Amino acid sequence: MKKKALVTGITGQDGAYLADLLLEKGYEVHGIKRRSSLFNTDRIDHLYQDPHESNKNFFLHYGDLTDSTNLIRIIQQVQPDEIYNLGAMSHVKVSFDTPEYTANADGIGTLRILEAVRLLGLTQKTKIYQASTSELYGLVQAVPQSETTPFYPRSPYAVAKLYGYWITVNYREAYDMYACNGILFNHESPLRGETFVTRKITRAVAKIALNLQGCLFLGNLDAQRDWGHAKDYVEAMYLILQQEKAEDFVIATGVTTRVREFVRLAFAELGIVVEFKGEGVDEKGYVVSCSKPEYQVEIGKEVVAVDPAYFRPTEVDLLIGDPTKAQEKLGWKPKYDLQGLVSEMVHADVELFQREKLLKASGYVIKNQFE
């Protein structure tokens, strides 16, 4: 019998990589997708199977984490061996604009999954992975952050995820459920949402190099993040649910980098050297040299500037994770380093915008200006 996995947030960055991994491992994969007025399955379109095919192993169900009736219906129908709860309003800055919705989807949504499994009598069958986050650490208490570092959330998103974290621990202890938190530090990829800082940078660098954009406006250039690759991190999610005992794990690289440095590395990938001058809101990045003939950016051009609109009411200044427990108990080790991650993201975006440039030259309108 094939194992069955149910993935919420399957249309997101991690959902797409996890679906690939689980299908590779022979699982029958079920995903929950939200109804939207435009197609929202770009990241998983390659997994589409004709509904009339007999040997299907990939299924999508309409649903939403804010609606317990559909969660109960889908879980009853699928009877999953494993649930990966990746669905969330995952943008920290946006959570300040939509705090109540974020609490509902990210906090109570987690409770709805746990409670559905309990009500359906599946506590001894279904293992649950909860997508917890390094944002729980928030205001720095100690570094590097490990499973025992105290939490101090700094956004409506992080507070909602704090509820998700503890309700997962509580259901594990109260009902003897196999329910675990993966406390994952930032992880990125070419599939990363366009408004998260790394993807915003790699898209802009590609566009600037191809003369499709003038300047990149960013918020806090001093923030430090522990950035890994999503492909490595979904492997850890899977491993967390394969242990004998349900436990929580920090997943991180143990290396931290400032936003400013990520920008430098991304430009350098295309042979463009950028130097920063000035301080605070007046800080700017200028092109010093450009060594690759295919990317002609004017020397001295201002390519990065600060826009305070991107500042957050409360910021998380420094994240650096301690993955020792994951290394020792899960045998988890990332395959990508930061350089490899930056390189893959930048070149994927160059390819994307080279195609867009061709379309533009042929008279097509370029969409998606709202970043």
Residue numbers at the binding site for ligand NDP (CB under 6 A): 8-9, 11-15, 32, 34, 36, 40, 64-66, 86-90, 105, 131, 133, 184, 186-187, 193
Dihedral Cα 54, 58, 59, 65, nearest 10 deg? 170
Query: What's the alpha-carbon Rg for the chain, to the nearest Å?
Result: 21
Nearest-10 crossing angle of helices 109-119, 68-78: 50
Asked if residue 297 lies in contact with residue 208, where contact means CB atoms within 8 angstroms, the answer is yes
Cβ closer to ligand GDR: 23 or 348? 348
- For the chain, the helix, strand and coil percentages under 3-state DSSP, each to the nearest 5: 40, 20, 40
- Selection from 32, 20, 22, 19 nearest residue 2 by Cα: 22
Residues 59, 96, 276, 310: which binds ligand GDR (CB under 6 A)?
310
Distances (CA, A) of 135 to 12, 159, 193, 225: 18, 9, 17, 10
Is 235 considered catalytic here? no
Residues 186, 202, 256, 257: which binds ligand GDR (CB under 6 A)?
186
Given the residues 84, 129, 157, 233, the one annotated as active site:
157
Given the residues 8, 11, 102, 135, the one annotated as active site:
135
Cα–Cα distance measured from residue 368 to residue 365, given in angstroms and rounded to the nearest whole number: 10
Position 92 contacts ligand GDR (CB under 6 A): yes
SS3 call for 335: coil
Position 133 contacts ligand GDR (CB under 6 A): yes
Is 157 considered catalytic here? yes
Instruction: Pick what 13 binds: ligand NDP, ligand GDR, none; C-beta below 5 to 8 Å, kind-dependent.
Output: ligand NDP
Cβ closer to ligand NDP: 57 or 66? 66
Is 27 considered catalytic here? no
Instruction: Pick what 64 binds: ligand NDP, ligand GDR, none; C-beta below 5 to 8 Å, kind-dependent.
Output: ligand NDP
Q: Which of residues 250-279 bind ligand GDR (CB under 6 A)?
A: 259
Cα–Cα distance measured from residue 262 to residue 226, given in angstroms and rounded to the nearest whole number: 11
| Catalytic residue numbers, as ranges | 133, 135, 157
- Residues near ligand GDR (CB under 6 A): 90, 92-93, 133-135, 185-186, 195-197, 200, 218-220, 223, 225, 259, 310, 312, 315-316
